[in-house]
Amino acid sequence: MSPRDTLRNPRGLVDAGLIAPEAEQRLQAVAARYAIAVPPVLADLIDRSDPNDPIARQFVPDAAELQVRPEELADPIGDAAHSPVEGIVHRYPDRVLFKVTHVCAVYCRFCFRREMVGPGKGAGLSRETHARALDYIASHPEIWEVILTGGDPLVLSPRRLRAIMRDLAAIPHVKILRVHTRAPIADPARITPELVRALKLTGKPTYVAVHVNHARELSDQARAALAQITDAGLPLLGQSVLLKGVNNTPKALEDLMRALVEAGVKPYYLHHPDLAPGTSHLRVGIKQGQSLVRSLRGRVSGLCQPTYVLDIPGGYGKVPIAPNAVRDTSEGTFLEDNRGRQHKYPAIGKSGAANAATSSRLARRRPPVPRTR
């Protein structure tokens, strides 16, 4: 398949063997509401013989997307509540999101911005809007980090991307730049030496956070694209979403985290799925998520451990929701190991008596000091 073969409608999905002919009419209603784009690299990874293929579940539309539950929100993480000017989301004091485009190389079926991205939403910010966004960043000295997002910033041309990066780097109080992207996975050919050079700045670190949810997404082409980024000295972080039928088993999650680290990507966040419209068929419960994250402890290296987070609906920010291994009771502090066993931790420092008893025990164990002549 060539780059021109990105599948953008139900007819194309039928022709590619990704949906049954009888499903085409039913999915026209989904296509009318939410953008579709399945690039060749990802289409080639889908196992047509598996009706529950985890790659297909992420990118091929499903009639279940038309079922919107009462708790689901068009803006599930509250971007609008923290958008002082168009293109900027300033939720945390020291960092902002800079939404530089509304276009993606692939449209995920669980996207929390699915009501805001895709054809017809505009390719990006106008020159005037872009200037106002930069002015906002420049006028707020507390902003230490700028995160380029969208859409996907890496769908921009190297020339456009370079201009944005340099504009941001010229603001003295902006010390860190971060780019959130799916492009190395969805369109690896886009990661050219010229584009990588556009990301690299002198004196200001750039971090690239790549979105991957299943180990099979790390194709040979994707790994080569990621290698170009790491070879240029740009650190790679991994962002994943916990999804039903994609990675919600201990084996799938373990394989994903290992594959990321092997590709030079440090797992950063594992997101609990947001309450985006029409995504209930892909969501898991918090308890199941906590159980899966607990299963990673002791199974994989610390390099493979992401922080499990949930974005509180309404714009109140991310909170870690990993299972708490510490339990305080009237009988003392207990710690839970990776097998779920409880271990009592001594109350060192809680009282002078405890310290004295410990010191006494240590003194009795201490070997005698040899006498000198």
Does a structural domain hold residue 14? Answer: no
pLDDT > 70 fraction of the chain, expressed in percent and rounded: 91
Which is catalytic among the residues 11, 95, 132, 204?
Answer: 95
Q: What is the CATH number of the domain that holds 245?
A: 3.20.20.70
Taking CA atoms, 253 is separated from 28, 38, 212, 213, 295, in Å, by 33, 23, 11, 9, 9
Q: At what angle do helices 127-138 and 158-169 cross, to 10 degrees?
A: 30
Nearest alpha-carbon partner for 306 in 231, 225, 181, 212: 212
- The per-residue pLDDT for 123 is 61
pLDDT in tens, 277-326: 999 999 999 999 999 999 998 889 999 999 999 999 999 999 999 988 89
Active site residue 318: yes
356 forms beta bridges with none
Higher pLDDT, 332 or 84: 84
Q: How many domains does the chain have?
A: 2
349 and 248 within one domain: no
Does a structural domain hold residue 75? Answer: no
173 and 96 within one domain: yes
E strand intervals along 255-317: 265-271, 307-311
- The per-residue pLDDT for 69 is 96
Taking the C-alpha atoms of residue 89 and residue 7, their distance in angstroms, rounded to an integer, is 31
pLDDT band, residue 355 (cuts 50/70/90):
very low
Active site residue 113: yes
Q: At what angle do helices 250-262 and 286-296 cross, to 10 degrees?
A: 50
pLDDT (average), residues 157-168: 96
Active site residue 114: no
Which is catalytic among the residues 34, 75, 111, 308?
Answer: 111
pLDDT band, residue 369 (cuts 50/70/90):
very low
Does a structural domain hold residue 40? Answer: no
- The per-residue pLDDT for 338 is 79
Taking the C-alpha atoms of residue 82 and residue 314, their distance in angstroms, rounded to an integer, is 10
Which is catalytic among the residues 109, 113, 114, 283?
Answer: 113
DSSP 282: G
> Is a pLDDT exceeding 50 seen at residue 357?
no
Are β-strands 326-329 and 332-336 bridged in parallel, bridged antiparallel, or unpaired? antiparallel
Strands of 332-336's sheet, edge to edge?
326-329, 332-336, 342-345
DSSP 373: -
E strand intervals along the chain: 88-92, 95-99, 145-149, 176-181, 206-211, 236-241, 265-271, 307-311, 318-320, 326-329, 332-336, 342-345
Which is catalytic among the residues 34, 53, 79, 91?
Answer: 91
218 and 129 within one domain: yes
The owner of tokens 């959130």 is 180
Higher pLDDT, 12 or 5: 12
Which is catalytic among the residues 8, 92, 244, 299?
Answer: 92
100 and 180 within one domain: yes
Domain that holds residue 255: 80-320
pLDDT (average), residues 22-27: 96
Are β-strands 145-149 and 176-181 bridged in parallel, bridged antiparallel, or unpaired? parallel
358 and 331 within one domain: yes
Active site residue 244: no
Active site residue 304: no
266 forms beta bridges with 237
Active site residue 274: yes
The owner of tokens 């279940």 is 64
Does a structural domain hold residue 131? Answer: yes
Does a structural domain hold residue 29? Answer: no
SS3 336: strand
Burial class (CB in 10 A: 0-12, 13-18, 19+), 132: middle
Dihedral angle of Cα 212, 214, 220, 224, to the nearest 10 degrees: 20
Does a structural domain hold residue 56? Answer: no
298 and 348 within one domain: no
177 and 117 within one domain: yes
Does a structural domain hold residue 274? Answer: yes
281 and 135 within one domain: yes
For the chain, the average pLDDT equals: 91
H helix or E strand, kind and range, residue 39: none
pLDDT in tens, 83-134: 999 999 999 999 999 999 999 999 999 999 998 888 766 666 889 999 999 9
pLDDT in tens, 164-223: 999 999 999 999 999 999 999 999 999 999 999 999 999 999 999 999 999 999 999 999
354 and 292 within one domain: no
160 and 113 within one domain: yes
Does a structural domain hold residue 31? Answer: no
109 and 223 within one domain: yes
Report whether 144 contacts 176 (CB < 8 A). yes
- The per-residue pLDDT for 215 is 98
227 and 334 within one domain: no
